[in-house]
Amino acid sequence: MGFVKRSNGVMRIFTDQLNSHISKQANKFDIPILWWPSVHGGKNGAKLDYVQKRFASKYNQFKNHVFCIITDKEPVFTFASRELTSNKTKKTFHRLYKCRKPVRHYYIYFFDAVLGGPCYLKISSYIPFPCEFYFNGHNYIKLHFDKRGISYRTKDNAFVHVSEPDTLQKLAQQIHGRLIQNRINYWMNRFFKFDKGKYSTRPKTLQHQWYASQVEVCSNTIFKSPRFCTSLFERILDKSSRFGLPDSIAKVFSRRPARSNSRTSWRLYDNNGCIKHWFRGNSVKQYNKTGYLIRTETTINNPKSLGLKKPVLYLQAYLWKGLDANNKFLNCCADVDLSSLCEIEPDMFSKPVLDHLNHKVPAPDLRKDIHDKYVKREDGVFPAPSQ
């Protein structure tokens, strides 16, 4: 950086200049800076929920917009300098040591014109300035649905109805590493600079390398009947109790068994059961999310153990790996016995019944096409007689 000494005072210069630049950006664009302990003080996603309720829920435009900046002190790995004296020459010199200490962090929450929102850019104010970028793929899809005028309905962060399901799949596949890297560069060039008085700049030697920290890929199975969905999921929990064994879970991720890093946990998720299987720091879980939706979700925390590369440019490979794990998990749940889902005998689904005119209606043959299963009568539409 052009400094001869590696003292704490020199490192503090960069911290003060970064703080000054972010403060000037906030004053210029009328962005509120909130000290988190005095606002809410929660943990585990509470900041994102706070911004969503107070700022993002009222925003309905498609332009880049910064909601707020939340500051908080968090422990992070950084450096400290010590002044030492050489035993031979008796001259003093500075040496850097790795340490962990609480420093100020900036959570910059914004709506991105490409990714939707809320997203956030987290910047640590002390060398080596570790940063973090977060976005939700559901928001990206919502943004482009709104731009194209496609109707949809959501519950929490799940799509329960979409007028063009194929478009949803295409949009999910459009999220790739180059797209994310470009958006990160845009926001970093705006906020990660150092105030020099009349202007702000950033040394060319001070550049970040961006890697995937955590990627979640979900597959939702939607049911018309909450009662059937709940009954089915209860049977799936019974079948999945042995699914987390090392040999079984390794096949889902297409890797060799890791007997010391595989486990299964049970917990409540919104008062519903959730089963989660761990494999080398990665996981696949399944839970009844809304009463009529079963979500299967793969979370990748250790990409190297799955043969994936960490740079964010390889992000799309995470999608295919996550979908592959979800599909294998779902295939293991597809052979639930029908008789276990109802209290009466399952034969009722294969026996003829009488309608309101006492006409015998045979059971439908689900092996045939829909237009072959029904015939038109004067008194209504009934299944065609089985051959």
Whether 74 contacts 41, CB under 8 Å: no
267 shares a domain with 142? no
Residues 149 and 121 in one domain: yes
Residue 187 sits in the same domain as residue 247? no
The model's pTM is 0.81
Q: Is 312 in contact with 212 (CB distance < 8 Å)?
A: yes
Give 10-27 as a DSSP string.
HHHHHHHHHHHHHHHHHH
Number of C-beta neighbours around residue 34 at 10 A? 19
Assigned domain for 61 exists: yes
Q: What is the tally of structural domains in the chain?
A: 3
Q: Which of 148, 173, 201 is the last residue of a domain?
A: 201
Sequence-separated (6 or more) residues with CB below 8 Å from residue 173: 316, 319
pLDDT value, residue 140: 95
Same domain assignment for residues 314 and 197: no
Q: What is the pLDDT of residue 156?
A: 80
* Segments of the chain with pLDDT less than 70: 1, 44, 239-248, 258-272, 336-350, 363-387
Residue 3 falls inside a structural domain? no
The confidence score (pLDDT) of residue 245 equals: 62
Planar angle of CA 35, 301, 76, nearest 5 degrees: 35
**Distance (Å, whole) CA 114 – CA 144:** 9
- What is the per-residue pLDDT for 232? 81
In a domain, 345, yes or no: no
What was the pLDDT predicted at 387? 38
**Sign of the dihedral defined by the CA atoms of residues 159, 163, 165, 170, in that order:** negative
Same domain? For 91 and 187 the reply is yes
Residue 109's φ and ψ, nearest 5 degrees, are -100, 135
**What distances in angstroms separate CA 220 from CA 156, 257, 289, 301, 374, one per listed residue?**
13, 27, 9, 21, 30
Range of the domain at 180: 8-201
Give the pLDDT confidence score for residue 269 in this predicted structure.
61
For residues 234 and 176, membership in a common domain is answered with no
Q: Do both 291 and 333 map to the same domain? A: yes
Nearest to 72 by CA among 47, 55, 89, 90: 47
Please check whether residue 2 lies inside any domain of the structure: no
Do 153 and 107 reside in the same domain of the chain?
yes
Name which of 251, 281, 287 is nearest 263 in CA terms.
281
Domain assignment present for residue 170? The answer is: yes
Torsion sign across C-alpha atoms 247, 249, 255, 261: negative
Close Cβ partners of 304 (under 8 Å, ≥ 6 residues apart): 310
DSSP codes, 123-183: EESSTT--EEEE--HHHHHHHHHHHHT--EEEETTEEEEES-HHHHHHHHHT--HHHHHHH
Q: Is residue 24 part of a domain?
A: yes
The C-alpha angle with vertex 158 and arms to 184 and 69, in degrees rounded to 5, equals 35
CB neighbour list of residue 200: distance below 8 Å, 6 or more residues apart? 21, 24, 193, 194
- The answer on 364 and 297 residing in a single domain is no
Residue 206 lies in a domain: no
Same structural domain for residues 38 and 156? yes
- Residue 336 in any domain: the answer is yes
26: which 2 tokens? 């906030």
Strands (E), the chain: 33-35, 65-85, 92-112, 116-124, 131-134, 152-155, 158-162, 194-195, 200-201, 215-222, 262-269, 272-279, 282-288, 293-300, 353-354, 360-361, 374-377, 380-383
372 and 282 co-located in one domain: no
> Alpha-carbon distance 80 to 75, whole Å?
14
Q: Indicate if 78 and 154 belong to the same structural domain.
A: yes
